[in-house]
Structure 1
Amino acid sequence: MLVEKNVSLQPWNSFGIAARAQTVVRVHGVADVQAMLADPELAAAPKFVLGGGSNVILTGDVKPVVLKMEIKGLRLLEETPRAWIVQAGAGETWHGCVTWTLAQGFAGLENLALIPGTVGAAPVQNLGAYGVELQERFESLDAVDLATGRTFTLDAAQCGFGYRDSVFRHAAPPNARTTGGLPRGMGLAGRAAITHVRLRLPRPWKPELGYLDLERRRAETGVEHPGAQQIFDWVCAIRRAKLPDPAVLGNAGSFFKNPTVSPDQCADIIARDPGIVHYPMPDGNVKLAAGWLIDACGWRGKSIGKAGVYEKQALVLVNRGRCGDSVTGGEVMTLAKAIQSSVYERFGIRLEPEPVVV
């Protein structure tokens, strides 16, 4: 177990916000988490699990003990006629995992290419893109209970996946009943450190091309039956054209969730704004494009302090500060709240941020 004091977190959050952690524990395996919990001082302190920092907004220095998840490893666990079961360490980069699976001939993650962050963070927000969500490719995960040090395993149902949601984003009620020492049902925020994730990649493979941008690529290229590598290449090209590279322009990717409304609500908005981008959902509701709503309110390219709205995609907030004069988390959240107010005043819709605010 490696413990560091007074550590800069600026290199460890994709927005590039300057903040420091009082204590960082570098986690390379389950034993490191358990050793940390065996230390009376560290065990008693609140914990904050940090992966790639791509979905985090730091509003100040971090007082809880930061668990920097750096567990590596990619391997095929099982091959059946219906699926490949792949296991990845929580500290592997998500895009690296996607690239590795394709290189091994295991298709199924190509629509989720180039998403920043680590494998361990993927189940927390049930990451998704271009018509595919993690829950559709998920088998199970291993984690450590940060209260007891015990390891446990959850399947997809136990993770409580929803749109950019899971049990890891909800705190357990104060008097929640427990099973095996863990809160029952929704509520593992701050309680678990994910160590390994297992993915179920389907056999036979079928392309997922229902997303508009992918349909456009297919029409432009004339490739009627693209393979997994072709879809991977298309997704990477689309994302690079729309989204800034965090290494060049700090950001946390899509800042707001796409809201869902009833068909009647959607019809009412269409009557006033016929151009609104919307997608019918299997449950009968309609998903609206949050980026379109923000753009319609005139926020594209605007800034508050050193926090700005990206010129090419209004759904992305960016760091317009310079080296040594970075945006603050407070500026980012001030801009986010101003955008939320504008969208609510015009459309009656409350946008919900995707990143975790610390």
Structure 2
Amino acid sequence: MHIEQDVSLLAHNTFGLPAVAHTLVRIGSDADVRRVVDHPTLGRSPKFVLGGGSNVVLTRDIEAVVLKIEVGGLRIVERREDAVIVEAGAGVGWHELVAWTLDQGEPGLENMALIPGTVGAAPVQNIGAYGLEMADRFESLDAVDLVTGRSVTLDRAACRFGYRDSVFKQALAGKSVITRVRLRLPRPWRPVLDYLDLQRRMAETGHSADPALGPVPDARTLFDWVVAIRRAKLPDPAVIGNAGSFFKNPVVTPEQCRDIITRDPHLVHYPMDDGNYKLAAGWLIDACGWKGKSVGAAAVYEKQALVLVNRGGARGAEVMTLARAIQESVYGRFGIRLEPEPVVV
């Protein structure tokens, strides 16, 4: 456990927003978390868990004790006939894990390549992309209770995963620290190719989901496609500050979807297994004319309306002013309330 005082968080959030952690503790193990819990001063203080800072909007300095999660380690736990179980420390970069599994010859995560952030943050948000969610590959995780200091192991049911949601954003918010995550890579491997952008790539390259019609893309090819698609659509946080997709894609009833299509027939929407429809938040925002617009140094990315960016020197208040203006605009036109994905502090 390493304790630091008055630490700038500018380099610890991908939006590049200014804020200071009055106390920051670097966590490298379960034991470090227990040391914080048992500490005479830190143990009684509020806690704020920080991974890669890719899903947070900092609007002020942090009075709570910031737990900077840096637990490392990558390993294959078990190879079974039906699956391979891999484990990663919570401080490992998510994309690093995806690339590592492929290097080990163990596919299954390639659709989620290049998602920013750490492995420990992935279950909190139930991250997902290109037809796959982390919950689809989840096995279990280890966490430490911030009140008792006890280590617990949670399975998928206990995590209560939902669309960009989990028990860690609900009942366990601020009450535990994830230290390790285990993922289940199914065998035999089957490519997930339902997403429109991937289908376009197959058409362009002569690949097919049906081996009778053309070669089926392997996992490394899918990985390369996803990386290329994301880089073409989304800004690199190392170049321009952002937190990825800023709003969740709203879910509506069939009646709501039909009502909007009556007025806006080009609405981008996707049927869900439960009969409802997921709407493309980026399309809603773009339809309201927000692409490229700004509030101070905070702006809507000109290539993807779902992403808000820091043009340089933006503050968290500017980002949230822009976000609220977008929410009001979308609600005024479509009657849909957009919900931010990042945690606002």
TM-score between both structures, scaled by the size of structure 1:
0.94
Structure-1 residue corresponding to 2:317: 330
Q: CA deviation at 1:204?
A: 0.2
Residues 179-206 of structure 1: per-residue CA shift (max 9 Å, x gap): xxxxxxxx00000000000000000000
Q: CA deviation at 1:49?
A: 0.4
Residues 141-184 of structure 1: per-residue CA shift (max 9 Å, x gap): 000000110000100000000000000001xxxxxxxxxxxxxx
Structure-1 residue corresponding to 2:341: 354
Distance 2:231 2:35 in 1: 41
Q: Does 1:206 align with 2:223?
A: no
Letter in 2 for 1:228: A
Q: Secondary structure at the match of 1:334?
A: helix
Q: CA deviation at 1:71?
A: 0.5
Q: CA deviation at 1:23?
A: 0.3
Q: CA deviation at 1:264?
A: 1.2
Structure 1: gaps of 5 or more residues: 171-186
Q: Secondary structure at the match of 1:154?
A: strand
Q: Does 1:118 align with 2:126?
A: no
Q: Secondary structure at the match of 2:177?
A: strand
Residues 41-68 of structure 1: per-residue CA shift (max 9 Å, x gap): 0001000000000000001000100000
Structure-1 residue corresponding to 2:205: 221
Distance 1:230 1:157 in 2: 32
Distance 2:249 2:205 in 1: 29
Q: CA deviation at 1:38?
A: 1.5
Q: CA deviation at 1:243?
A: 0.1
Q: CA deviation at 1:328?
A: 0.7
Structure-1 residue corresponding to 2:181: 197
Structure-2 residue corresponding to 1:306: 297
Distance 1:240 1:302 in 2: 21
Q: Secondary structure at the match of 2:163?
A: coil
Q: CA deviation at 1:223?
A: 1.8
Residues 254-303 of structure 1: per-residue CA shift (max 9 Å, x gap): 00000011111111111111111110001100000000000000000000
Query: 1:140-159 alignment to 2 at 5 Å?
Result: 140-159=140-159
Query: 1:141-290 alignment to 2 at 5 Å?
Result: 141-170=141-170, 187-224=171-208, 225-290=216-281
Residues 3-52 of structure 1: per-residue CA shift (max 9 Å, x gap): 00000001000000011000000001111111111111000100000000
Q: Secondary structure at the match of 1:189?
A: coil
Between 1:27-36 and 1:292-301, the stretch displaced more is: 27-36
Distance 2:256 2:30 in 1: 48
Q: Does 1:16 align with 2:12?
A: no
Cα RMSD (Å): 0.5
Q: Detail structure 1 runs of 4+ shifted over 2 Å in the superposition.
A: none
Letter in 2 for 1:95: H
Letter in 2 for 1:223: H
Give aligned-pair identity as a percent. Answer: 69
Q: Does 1:33 align with 2:33?
A: yes
Structure-1 residue corresponding to 2:73: 73
Distance 1:153 1:164 in 2: 21
Structure-1 residue corresponding to 2:212: none
Letter in 2 for 1:193: V
Distance 1:106 1:285 in 2: 34
Distance 2:333 2:38 in 1: 53
Q: Secondary structure at the match of 1:252?
A: strand
Distance 1:305 1:167 in 2: 35
Q: Secondary structure at the match of 1:40?
A: coil
Structure-1 residue corresponding to 2:211: none
Distance 2:79 2:154 in 1: 21
Structure-1 residue corresponding to 2:327: 340
Q: Does 1:54 align with 2:29?
A: no
Distance 2:321 2:113 in 1: 31
Distance 1:132 1:109 in 2: 8
Letter in 2 for 1:296: A
Q: Secondary structure at the match of 2:165?
A: coil
Letter in 2 for 1:349: I
Letter in 1 for 2:73: G
TM-score between both structures, scaled by the size of structure 2:
0.97
Q: Secondary structure at the match of 1:312?
A: coil
Structure 2: gaps of 5 or more residues: 209-215
Distance 1:160 1:2 in 2: 32
